[in-house]
Amino acid sequence: MVAALAANDRAALAEQILLGLEERGLAAGAWLVDIGRVRHALREADTLLRRLEDAVIRSASSSPLDAP
C-alpha cells in the first residue's frame, strides 16, 4: 500500500511539474535537455564527492590523530 501511495505521489508531482512547464511556455521536450544536463552535473558532483571522501579516509587512516 505504501509503495502504491508513493508511486501515486510521484505521478502527481510529475504531472504538476509538466503542467507548470507548459504554463511557462516551454517548448515540448525542451526541458528534457535540462534534465539531462542536471543529471550529468549530479553524476560529476557525486564522483567528486566520492573522491573527496576516499581522500579523507586515506588521510585519516595514514596519520594518527594525536601525535606525541
DSSP 5-39: HHHHHHHHHHHHHHHHHHHTTPPTTHHHHHHHHHH
With contact defined as beta carbons under 8 Å apart, do 21 and 31 qualify? yes
How many domains does the structure of the chain reveal?
1
**Domain for residue 57, yes or no?**
yes
**Domain for residue 40, yes or no?**
yes
Task: Return the C-alpha cell found at 52.
Answer: 573527496
**Domain for residue 51, yes or no?**
yes
The answer to whether residue 13 scores a pLDDT higher than 70 is yes
**Domain for residue 18, yes or no?**
yes
**Domain for residue 26, yes or no?**
yes
**Domain for residue 21, yes or no?**
yes
Domain that holds residue 42: 2-62
The answer to whether residue 6 scores a pLDDT higher than 80 is no
The answer to whether residue 52 scores a pLDDT higher than 90 is yes
What is the distance between the alpha carbons of residues 19 and 5, in angstroms, rounded to a whole number? 21
